[in-house]
Amino acid sequence: MVRGPKKHLKRLNAPKRWMLGKMEGVWAPKPSPGPHKNRECMPLSIILRNRLKYALTGKETVQIVMEKLVKVDGKVRTDNNYPAGFQDVVTMEKSGDRFRLLYDTKGRFVLHRVSEAEASYKLCRVVAVKTTANKVPVAVTHDGRTIRYPDPLVKVNDTVKVDIASGKIMAGEGSHLKFAPGCQVMLVRGHNIGRVGVLMHVEKHEGSFDIVTVKDSKGHTFSTRLNNLFVIGTGSKVEISLPKGKGIKKNIHEEKAEAIARGAL
């Protein structure tokens, strides 16, 4: 008889984007229930131990978070398996480090270092706009937020800039990024995950997935499902700083040529 959800995770079954060595042990940290899906997040223990090297063991990551030294989106998190996901801002005030979780073009999580000003906000994709039972209009975002009384112009698939301190949508230019041809997008799922480009057009398919066409700054064009897009800017302006590579996917020949140029091969 099934006794509920599993509380453990085998290392072989852990997401590849965590980049855990399959021969380094049997188990992997299982993300706690939270605002992101299990396979679209990364536990704080992996961030502190495997990525930032602040800890050598899992026990040390527990000690770090229990001292209330780690904040995710401005809130102290004492669960070492708390799931941090795309666009979340991880802050260590004692060391002055601030990182935003993004993807590279190989689908791996990147802890992109940001300034104090940029760490004060995050971009949230709107997944639903509805009215509650008490007649309050709300917008539900990809990270589990329910924002009351949003701008009536905010629609599904748009992106809003949220102030982390207050949890409200910021005012001014760039606070509402409209999903429309010509906007800057980043792919957060699929084979083209991590790529950045301009939305060219949308193909509607009734009863199936809508398909969009994206063109990157190198002139390469590719297609994906509409649900895989995340609007990050309008025109040529992007509202967040991008990690190394700027979301441009290179083929194996370009990667080899770069490795030879820097003496890696």
Residue 3: CB atoms within 10 Å: 5
Does 91 lie in the same domain as 18?
yes
Chosen domain end from 151, 177, 203: 177
Position 84 scores a pLDDT of 96
Q: Looking at the domain assignment, is residue 36 inside a domain? A: yes
**Looking at residue 5, what is its pLDDT?**
84
> 67 and 26, same structural domain?
yes
Q: Which of 25-34, 59-68, 255-264 has the lowest mean pLDDT?
A: 255-264
Across-strand partners of 152? none
For residues 1-22, give the mean pLDDT.
89
CATH number for 193: 2.30.30.30
- Consecutive H or E run containing 90: strand 89-92
Specify the 3-state DSSP secondary structure of 131: strand
In a domain, 28, yes or no: yes
Q: Quick: pLDDT tens for 75-108.
A: 999 999 999 999 999 999 999 999 999 999 999 9
Q: Identify the pLDDT of residue 254.
A: 86
Do residues 230 and 212 lie in contact, with contact meaning Cβ atoms separated by under 8 Å?
A: no
The C-alpha torsion from 30 through 34 and 35 to 41, rounded to 10°, is -10
| Residue 132 φ/ψ region, left for φ over 0, alpha for ψ in the -120 to 50 degree band, beta for the rest | beta
What's residue 171's pLDDT?
Answer: 87
Question: Both 152 and 223 in a single domain?
Answer: no
Task: For residue 263, name the pLDDT band (cuts at 50, 70, 90).
Answer: confident
pTM comes to 0.90
Residues 68 and 41 in one domain: yes
Which CATH number do you get for residue 107? 3.10.290.10
Identify the sign of the CA torsion 162, 197, 126, 179.
positive
Q: Is 197 exposed, middle or buried (0-12, 13-18, 19+ CB in 10 A)?
A: buried
pLDDT higher than 80, residue 264: no
pLDDT at 163 (0 to 100): 95
Question: pLDDT tens for residues 103-150?
Answer: 999 999 999 999 999 999 999 999 999 999 999 999 999 999 999 999
Rounded Cα gap, residues 48 and 56, in angstroms = 9
Residue 222 has pLDDT above 90, yes or no: yes
- The pLDDT value recorded for residue 146 is 95
Q: Is the pLDDT of residue 151 over 80?
A: yes
Position 37 confidence tier, pLDDT thresholds 50, 70, 90: very high
pLDDT at 121: 95
27 is a domain residue: yes
145: CATH = 2.40.50.740
- DSSP class of residue 169 equals B
Let me know whether 53 and 74 are in one domain: yes
Same domain, 205 and 135: no
Q: What is the mean pLDDT of residues 24-43?
A: 94
Residue with tokens 């994906």: 224
Per-residue model confidence as pLDDT tens digits over 165-221: 999 999 888 899 999 999 999 999 999 999 999 999 999 999 999 999 999 988 899
Tell me, yes or no, whether 168 lies in a domain: yes
| H or E element in which residue 85 lies | strand 83-85
**How many Å from the N-terminal Cα to the C-terminal Cα in the chain?**
55
Residue ranges making up the domain that contains 132: 119-177
Report percent pLDDT > 90 for the chain.
83
On whether both 22 and 101 belong to a single domain, the answer is yes
| Host H or E run for residue 46 | helix 44-46
Whether residue 49 sits in one domain with residue 15: yes
With 80 as the cut, is the pLDDT of residue 22 above it? yes
247, HSE (Cβ side, Cα atoms, 13 Å):
26
**What single letter denotes the amino acid at residue 53?**
K
How many domains does the chain divide into? 3
Q: Give the position of tokens 């004492």.
A: 78
Q: Is 246 a residue whose pLDDT tops 90?
A: no
Q: Are residues 101 and 22 in the same domain?
A: yes
Query: Are the CB atoms for 102 and 84 separated by under 8 Å?
Result: no
Of 134, 168, 165, 166, the closest CA to residue 151 belongs to 168
Cβ(141)–Cβ(159) below 8 Å: no
Position 29 confidence tier, pLDDT thresholds 50, 70, 90 = very high
In this structure, are 103 and 196 located in the same domain? no
Check whether residue 14 and residue 45 sit in a common domain: yes
Same domain assignment for residues 16 and 103: yes
Burial 79-106 (b: 16+ CB within 10 A, else e): bbbbbbbbbbbbbbeeeeebbbbbbbbe
Which residues on adjacent β-strands are paired with residue 146?
140
Residue 32 located in a structural domain: yes
Distance (Å, whole) CA 36 – CA 27: 21
